[in-house]
Amino acid sequence: MIWPIILLIATPFLIGVSGLVVRHRQTLDVLHCVQAGIMVVSSILLVDEVSLSGPVSFLYFLHVDAISAWFDLVIGIVAGTGTLYAVGYVGEQYDRGHMSLKRFRQFFMFFDLYLGVMLLAVNVENLGMMWIAIEGATLSAALLIGFERNKGGLEAGWKFVILSSVGIALALFGTILVYYSSEQLLGITEEALHWAKLYEVGDQLDPSVMKIAFIFILVGYGTKAGLVPMHTWLPDAHGEAPTPVSAMLSANMLTMAIYAILRFKILTDQAVGPDFTGTLLLGFGFFSVALSSIVLLLQEDFKRLLAYSSIEHIGIALIGFGLGGLGVFGGLWHLLNHALAKSAAFYGAGLVLITHEHKFIARVPGLLREHPVAGVALFVAGLVLAGMPPFGLFVSEITIAANAMNTTPSIAYGFLAVLTLAFATLLFQILRMVLGVPMETATSTVGPRCRAFSTAAIAVNLGALIFLGLHVPAGLHDLIGAILPFFHAEGEYF
Amino acid sequence: MPTLPVNIGSYLVNLCSALLLLTCFAIVAQRRLMACVDLFALQSGFLAVTATLVAYLTGIHHIYLAAILTIAIKAIILPRILKKIVRQLNVQREVSMYVNIPTGLLICGGLVILAFFITQPIVHLGFLLTQDSLAIALAIVLIGFFIMVSRQKAVTQVIGFLVMENGLFLAATAAAYGMPLMVELGIFFDVLVAGLIVGIYTHQIQETFGSVDTSRMKALKE
């Protein structure tokens, strides 16, 4: 059955292109609701398909194995709810007269293109094509971050373009080095860039080339993943971009960048053994968690707060992958739950931004009373992001810590220390916003359409988080079972 | 198929790669924006010549296509876009830089040595014809990176990015005999779109901030 993968990738491109001809706002809304539905359903079906009957290939360039299916699920579900939220949020800007119909249509064309290339990036078989798709995501994100054309947006957008371009260029150099090494074995053909082929001959690749290549790849794609110290674009971009875009940057683009790093990690491990990449990932992961857990406390802007929390969580996932073993399960589970929780938090934050027209944490206490939808979204997502049981991030953090305790206890101590710090700082900031008595009256209220769409998006995300916290579907269990052998990891999970 | 002896071919490829590197240094030493754009176009020309040589010497035909695209996109279209942007701006020379020119040249010299040092353990794997080009390509990538971080004007930062791209293309052609055709076409498309997008951005930055001096954009920080 190949139609879930076709639908998943083709829908955003087709609906994005339809924005060129569709001139009615109503029709665009309906089309994007359809797109949201298709993305969520087809990514779930794809997981079922791959976990039951193995990899799916389509045409000559798409190849969905268990790893791709996992990232399809993460990106697909969040892209679906993100589309719903964007319909409400950007529609509200249009209703208020902040945006012309032309700009409204442009926004959705860029937005759909952005989602489409990210889904493409995690499914293509050729690592050169993957680079092209990731660069496409960079460029469409650049257009979206500066979309509102204000000073902050332009500054953040420019910083993003410059830093990401440098990163992506370094990643291409790494990709060229891999090809340089693999074509000695596979010949000058396109197959020398295919994952499946490379994994067959991985142990014969030249170790010194692969080491240098992996460093370039890690620094390059790591810039897109927001790893410290290449993270400086991330808080600016997340803070200044239109909120649906911030949510997609955080939940999807960072995840996609981790996917790219993992693909190369598997290959490099075959050539040089797991210690080399493991140490690098652990180092970058630790720096990311440590820095962001402190900086979280200094934030006065709630969108930047969520941005730093993304740096922290990507760091945690990286520590999991760096440890290997069941840490890999922890990392994967972490990425899925983080994407759901962080986008829900951004959806809530966006509603606060629309109604209050500022982003100061200190000026919006009492959100649970004043704006229950936004308040609940921020409160529940905040608890999840802080790592409270029974949610998924608690499971993944505990798994990573326990795994570290078994292998190298010193890592576990450090990990738990920074984790506790991040728990305290994030929860403190979130509780300051959601509890208490409202300080100021909102400057405006959101329209019924925006309220309906954003409530729906938040409900799906929070529902999925609670569901995954209480019960693990068999399909996901099997899928993780199919991914672990890639990392030579085994053990009992859940 | 090649009629030139391999070692003469190898000398020619090395000569062209060295010329590419030389234009990098010229860009680092140049304050006038128009001249920087011209130097970038010249560099792209040398790149196309290198690619043509490799294509001729190895008989791999799709590299010819890459050479033609290099001329069209990097030596003609992108320089035109950049010159149009420079003409619209109120500035022709870059007066202040984060690093002054003599220091910049010294740093770039250091970067070249670093590039040779990094690639030293892996060049023996490459094809005989183009063994030294990998180090030169990495040097060009690093110098492009340096141009991006040392300049304040949006236009010169873009030129730095394009120089990096040229270095990458040299690495792909000379060291790996070209990426597969689809990949190469995709990369060209992305570079072209990137050029257009930074064009849009510089225009909007100029309109909103009244300058393309990116050192004025520092509202966002901790």
Q: What's the distance, CA A267 to chain centroid?
A: 22
**Above 60 in pLDDT, residue A271?**
yes
Which of A142, A158, A180 has the CB atom closest to B205's CB atom?
A: A158
Which residues of chain B make contact with A128, given a CB cutoff of 8 A?
A: 179-180, 182-183, 186-187
Angle at B3 between CA B1 and CA B5, to 5 degrees: 120
Which of A143, A166, A181 has the CB atom closest to B125's CB atom?
A: A181
- Chain B contact for A143 (CB, 8 A cutoff): yes
Between CA A109 and CA A243 the distance in angstroms is 16
According to the model, what pLDDT value does residue A359 have? 93
Between CA A291 and CA A369 the distance in angstroms is 33
HSE (CB half, 13 Å, CA atoms) of A342?
35
Do the chains contact at A132 and B198, CB–CB below 8 Å?
Answer: no
Specify the 3-state DSSP secondary structure of A301: strand
Which of A129, A151, A236 has the CB atom closest to B183's CB atom?
A: A129
Asked if residue A169 lies in contact with residue B161, where contact means CB atoms within 8 angstroms, the answer is yes
Q: Is residue B30 part of a domain?
A: yes
Q: Is residue B143 part of a domain?
A: yes
- Using only C-alpha atoms, chain A has a radius of gyration, in whole angstroms, of 21
Which residues of chain B make contact with A188, given a CB cutoff of 8 A?
A: 60, 177-178
Tell me which H or E stretch contains B167.
helix B154-170
DSSP string, B180-213: -HHHHHHHHHHHHHHHHHHHHHHHHHHHHHSS-B
Q: Is residue A268 part of a domain?
A: yes
Between CA A132 and CA A348 the distance in angstroms is 33
Asked if residue A190 lies in contact with residue A126, where contact means CB atoms within 8 angstroms, the answer is yes
Angle at A247 between CA A278 and CA A142, to 5 degrees: 85
Beta partners for A124? A62
Residue type, A26: Q
Interchain CB contacts (distance < 8 Å): A and B: 136
According to the model, what pLDDT value does residue A352 have? 94
- Chain B contact for A174 (CB, 8 A cutoff): no
Which residues of chain A make contact with B154, given a CB cutoff of 8 A?
A: 158
Asked if residue A109 lies in contact with residue A131, where contact means CB atoms within 8 angstroms, the answer is no
Q: How many domains does chain A have?
A: 1
Residue A217's alpha-carbon distances to A26, A112, A167, B24, in angstroms, are 43, 27, 9, 24
Q: Is A241 left (phi over 0), alpha (psi -120 to 50) or beta?
A: beta
Nearest chain A Cα distance for residue B8, angstroms: 23
HSE (CB half, 13 Å, CA atoms) of A307?
27
Between CA A106 and CA A30 the distance in angstroms is 16
A-interface mutation test, from B119, B152, B179, most A Cβ less than 10 A away: B179
Residue A443, burial from CB neighbour count under 10 angstroms (0-12, 13-18, 19+): exposed
Residue A373 tokens, joined: 């939808």
Residue B32 dihedral angles phi and psi, to the nearest 5°: -75, 130
Do the chains contact at B118 and A212, CB–CB below 8 Å?
Answer: yes
Q: What letter does residue A273 receive in the DSSP assignment?
A: -
Question: Which of A126, A258, A196, A257 shows the shortest CA–CA distance to B186?
Answer: A126
Please report how the helices B133-150 and A151-186 are oriented relative to each other, as an axis angle in degrees rounded to 10. 170
Asked if residue B192 lies in contact with residue B204, where contact means CB atoms within 8 angstroms, the answer is no
Nearest chain B Cα distance for residue A173, angstroms: 6
Q: Is residue A478 part of a domain?
A: yes
Cα nearest neighbour of A176 on chain B: B172
Q: What's the distance, CA A343 to chain centroid?
A: 9
Do the chains contact at B176 and A180, CB–CB below 8 Å?
Answer: yes
Residue A201 tokens, joined: 């001959």
Q: How many residues does chain A have?
A: 494
Beta partners for B216? none
> B75 or A1: whose pLDDT is higher?
B75
Residue type, A309: S
Between CA B146 and CA A155 the distance in angstroms is 21
Which of A132, A156, A180 has the CB atom closest to B183's CB atom?
A: A132
Which of B161, B165, B204 has the CB atom closest to A146's CB atom?
A: B204
- Chain B contact for A172 (CB, 8 A cutoff): yes
Asked if residue A83 lies in contact with residue A28, where contact means CB atoms within 8 angstroms, the answer is no
Between CA B204 and CA A377 the distance in angstroms is 35
Do the chains contact at B141 and A170, CB–CB below 8 Å?
Answer: yes
Between CA A270 and CA A199 the distance in angstroms is 8
**Above 80 in pLDDT, residue A115?**
yes
Tell me the mean pLDDT in the region A46-75.
91
Do the chains contact at A179 and B179, CB–CB below 8 Å?
Answer: yes
Specify the 3-state DSSP secondary structure of B32: strand
**Above 50 in pLDDT, residue A370?**
yes
Question: Which of A317, A162, A247, A125 shows the shortest CA–CA distance to B148?
Answer: A162
According to the model, what pLDDT value does residue B1 have? 46
Token look-up 């300051």 returns A432
HSE (CB half, 13 Å, CA atoms) of B15?
8
According to the model, what pLDDT value does residue B178 have? 81
Between CA A406 and CA A152 the distance in angstroms is 47
According to the model, what pLDDT value does residue B103 have? 93
Q: Is residue A121 part of a domain?
A: yes
Between CA B53 and CA A70 the distance in angstroms is 45
Cα dihedral A82→A83→A89→A91 (10° resolution): 180
A-interface mutation test, from B183, B193, B212, most A Cβ less than 10 A away: B183
Residue A430 tokens, joined: 């979130």
Do the chains contact at B168 and A172, CB–CB below 8 Å?
Answer: yes
Between CA A172 and CA A174 the distance in angstroms is 5
According to the model, what pLDDT value does residue B6 have? 66
Between CA A369 and CA A436 the distance in angstroms is 8
Cα nearest neighbour of B221 on chain A: A236
Q: Is residue B1 part of a domain?
A: no
Which of A143, A149, A176 has the CB atom closest to B176's CB atom?
A: A176
B-interface mutation test, from A126, A127, A160, A166, most B Cβ less than 10 A away: A166
Residue A329's alpha-carbon distances to A73, A93, A196, A396, in angstroms, are 15, 41, 22, 8
Do the chains contact at B126 and A132, CB–CB below 8 Å?
Answer: no
Q: How much helix, strand and coil, in percent to the nearest 5, is found in chain B?
A: 80, 0, 20
Residue type, A96: R
DSSP string, A134-203: HHHHHHHHHHHHTTT-SHHHHHHHHHHHHHHHHHHHHHHHHHHHHHHHHHHHH-SSGGGGBHHHHHHHGG
Q: What letter does residue A358 receive in the DSSP assignment?
A: S
Question: Which of A423, A450, A237, A449 shows the shortest CA–CA distance to A352?
Answer: A450
- Chain B contact for A204 (CB, 8 A cutoff): no
Q: Is residue B169 part of a domain?
A: yes
Residue type, B194: A
Which residues of chain A make contact with B194, given a CB cutoff of 8 A?
A: 135, 139, 161, 165
Token look-up 């000073």 returns A151
- Chain B contact for A129 (CB, 8 A cutoff): yes
Do the chains contact at B148 and A236, CB–CB below 8 Å?
Answer: no
Question: Which of A380, A61, A481, A11 shows the shortest CA–CA distance to B186?
Answer: A61
pLDDT tens string for chain B (222 positions)?
455 666 788 888 889 999 999 999 999 999 899 999 999 999 999 999 999 998 888 888 888 999 999 999 999 999 998 898 888 877 778 777 888 899 999 999 999 999 999 988 887 776 666 677 889 999 999 999 999 888 888 888 889 999 999 999 998 887 778 888 888 888 888 888 888 888 888 888 888 887 777 777 777 776
Q: Is residue B89 part of a domain?
A: yes
**Above 70 in pLDDT, residue A197?**
yes
Q: Is residue B194 part of a domain?
A: yes
Do the chains contact at B125 and A206, CB–CB below 8 Å?
Answer: yes
Cα dihedral B189→B192→B197→B202 (10° resolution): 170
> Model ipTM?
0.92
Residue type, A283: G
According to the model, what pLDDT value does residue B4 have? 61
Q: What's the distance, CA A116 to chain centroid?
A: 14
Q: Is residue B32 part of a domain?
A: yes
Between CA B30 and CA B21 the distance in angstroms is 15
**Above 60 in pLDDT, residue A173?**
yes
Q: How many domains does chain B have?
A: 1
According to the model, what pLDDT value does residue A88 have? 95
Q: What letter does residue A440 receive in the DSSP assignment?
A: S
Which of B126, B183, B214 has the CB atom closest to A158's CB atom?
A: B214
The average confidence (pLDDT) of chain A is 93
Token look-up 């998006």 returns A457
- Structural domain span for residue A359: 3-487
Cα nearest neighbour of B215 on chain A: A155
> A102 or A443: whose pLDDT is higher?
A102
- Structural domain span for residue B169: 6-216
Q: Is residue A492 part of a domain?
A: no
- Chain B contact for A208 (CB, 8 A cutoff): yes
Q: Is residue B13 part of a domain?
A: yes
Which of B138, B179, B193 has the CB atom closest to A128's CB atom?
A: B179
Residue range A376-415, pLDDT digits in tens? 999 999 999 999 988 999 999 999 999 999 988 999 999 9
Between CA A85 and CA A340 the distance in angstroms is 13
DSSP string, A51-93: HHH--EEETTTEEE-HHHHHHHHHHHHHHHHHHHHHHHHHHHH
Which residues of chain A make contact with B54, given a CB cutoff of 8 A?
A: none
Spatial neighbors of A123 by CB under 8 A, at least 6 apart, are: A5, A9, A62, A63, A64, A68, A72
